[in-house]
Homo-oligomer: A and B are copies of this chain.
Amino acid sequence: MARRKGLTIEDVARAAGVSIAAVSLALNDKGTLSQETRARVKRVAAELDYQADALARGLRRSPMGTIGLVLRPLDAIGSYTLNGVDFFSRLLAAAAVAAMDRGIGMMLVPNLLRSPVPAFAYSLDGYVVAEPEVDDPVVRRLEDRDIPYVSLGRNVARPDSPYWVSSDDEGSMAAVLDHFASAGARDIVLVGGTDSNGWNQDCEAAYRAWTAGAGLPPRVLRAAEGAGIRGGRAVAARLLRDGVPDAVLCATGRQAVGVLEELREAGVSVPGRTLLATASDSEHARTASPAISAVDMHPERLAEGAVDMLHGLIHGTPVAERVRLPTSFFVRESSSRAG
């Protein structure tokens, strides 16, 4: 690596005719310098366009002005190529933007347990951990290193921690299920994921509560997150054997697409015989034919909420706790009896 030019504190000190200590104290408004010296140093520094080296500065444990983002579900899948998976790419972009708007940087960091970890990982000011799992080792690692973090999605790794921002999964599920019910569906299947995160847990709990309340029998099937469309097809194949339901609510858009394909190939009409929807909107869902009804969790708002909370935690200012943000349910052709 070529060495960078980099103006150092020494250059400023020389130009201002003071010691490097004076420069540091002046620029950070500390110590007991005279107003005059302080002003002069600041002026000189500004003229030279001096900027303190972030690394040397961080070495003394000043905040780095940068946070990390860990996407646990993608760590689990082992692939970060997000083709057609809207939620995480929207979340990622939104988090970067939210961080930037607050004057801090944001880095996507892969599985903190895989080695080698990216060099920076443990020098960041804090983390947003998306959908941690029960006993999540990444959460443990962050706690070991005393790195502040907030969870995006309920923090099932630390049920007592109040520092999380989540979509209102109960509301989402109720919206979809009410919609199904009002179209006359009685046998409604939930297709969930297998990761032990808050989203899966809360969606299933909400589903069970709703079915119990409606006096309908719950039927839950699961497909691994990583299986994608294939997972949806496998689940649908089982449904074809066990009994075709009136409606299917899939956790992910890709599962929904798989279910759609498998059912249609077997001659089951969607939405004619079976209604279909997904709890997380995606390009897949929107461009499927028929387009699949979906819940938009508004990852942009979630990202902003999480970044705000983390920012507060890092700076020791009071923050909102256990935040649940509303979602939107978009009815599309796959669940419209009229269509």
Give residues in A with beta carbon < 8 Å to B: 1-6, 51-59, 61-66, 80-83, 88-90, 92-94, 96-97, 99-101, 103-110, 116-123, 125, 144-147, 286, 300, 314
Q: Which of B57, B94, B101, B146 is within 8 Å of A119, CB to CB?
A: B57
Give 22 A-B contacts (CB < 8 Å), ordered by A residue: A1-B314, A4-B145, A4-B146, A4-B147, A52-B119, A53-B122, A54-B122, A55-B55, A55-B58, A55-B64, A58-B119, A66-B118, A66-B120, A81-B101, A82-B97, A89-B94, A92-B96, A97-B108, A100-B110, A100-B118, A106-B107, A286-B286
- Residues of chain B within 8 A of A66, CB atoms compared: 107, 118-120
Chain B nearest CB: distance from A88 CB in Å?
8
A56→B59 contact, CB < 8 A: yes
The complex places the Cα of A122 from the Cα of B1 at a distance, in Å, of: 14
- Residues of chain B within 8 A of A56, CB atoms compared: 59
- Residues of chain B within 8 A of A54, CB atoms compared: 119-123
- Residues of chain B within 8 A of A52, CB atoms compared: 119
As for how many copies of this chain the complex holds, the number is 2
A105→B80 contact, CB < 8 A: no
- Residues of chain B within 8 A of A82, CB atoms compared: 93, 97
Chain B nearest CB: distance from A224 CB in Å?
21
A65→B120 contact, CB < 8 A: yes
Chain B nearest CB: distance from A149 CB in Å?
13
- Residues of chain B within 8 A of A93, CB atoms compared: 82, 88-90, 92-93
The complex places the Cα of A303 from the Cα of B289 at a distance, in Å, of: 30
A145→B63 contact, CB < 8 A: no
* Smallest Cβ-Cβ distance to A120: which chain B residue: B54
A1→B62 contact, CB < 8 A: yes
Q: Which of B3, B81, B101, B123 is within 8 Å of A55, CB to CB?
A: B123
A145→B5 contact, CB < 8 A: yes
